[in-house]
Amino acid sequence: MDDRFLNPRNQTLEFANRSRKNLEFVEDAYAAGEDVHPVTQLTLSMLGLVVFPWGERHHIEFQAKNKDFCAMENEGWPTWKIICDYKDKPTVNLSDLIRHLRNAVAHGRIKFSSNSGKIEDVTIVVEDEYRRPEKYNKCTNYNYWCAEIEGIKLREFCMKFFKFITDTTG
């Protein structure tokens, strides 16, 4: 690979840090009355955190498998409401959640409850579809996995996941 691509932006931690900084910048600009949209930036930050960790992806996923999904709330992680889960392979750890989020976002299966710019006014729904729905739980239009989270909790999740990436790779 050409040396031009050996820069900090291509490292997971640096990209995640820039995603966090951009979210905070947009939130501050919105609070100051600027015509920006924090919910959009929050969604983009989630993309930067869960979809694009390049080099250390396998290491992060390995560590995430050790983080029990049900125990995360006791560790201060915000709660995702799983509406529909895959019966034979339920969401049991952070790695499962991240995999579903990647798939949902990559395939455009993300919905917002409101057009409000205020993070606290919006609930986000993500769906991860399986190609052969007849074999699995048929809730939510044949999507086998579906979850929702309040915008403010998604922000908390992104910040917590940023810390997880920092602790894991930093």
The contacts of residue 68 (CB under 8 Å, 6+ apart) are 92, 93
Q: Give me the pLDDT at residue 30, please.
A: 96
DSSP 8-state class, residue 5? G
Smallest Cα–Cα separation from 65: which of 99, 23, 34, 33?
A: 99
Print the domain residue range for 11. Answer: 3-169
Q: Give me the pLDDT at residue 140, please.
A: 45
Q: pLDDT tens digit string along 33-78? A: 999 999 999 988 887 777 665 556 666 777 888 899 989 989 999 9
Q: What is the pTM of this model?
A: 0.81
Q: pLDDT tens digit string along 131-149? A: 554 554 455 444 478 899 9
DSSP 118-166: -GGG-EEEEEE--S-GGGS--HHHH-SEEEEEEHHHHHHHHHHHHHHHH
Q: pLDDT tens digit string along 98-128? A: 889 988 888 888 999 999 989 999 999 998 8
Give the position of tokens 């955190």. Answer: 49
Q: What is the mean pLDDT of residues 18-47?
A: 91
**CA atoms of 9 and 143, how far apart (whole Å):** 34
Measure the CA angle with vertex 79, ends 144 and 164; round to 5°: 100
Q: Report the domain count for the chain.
A: 1
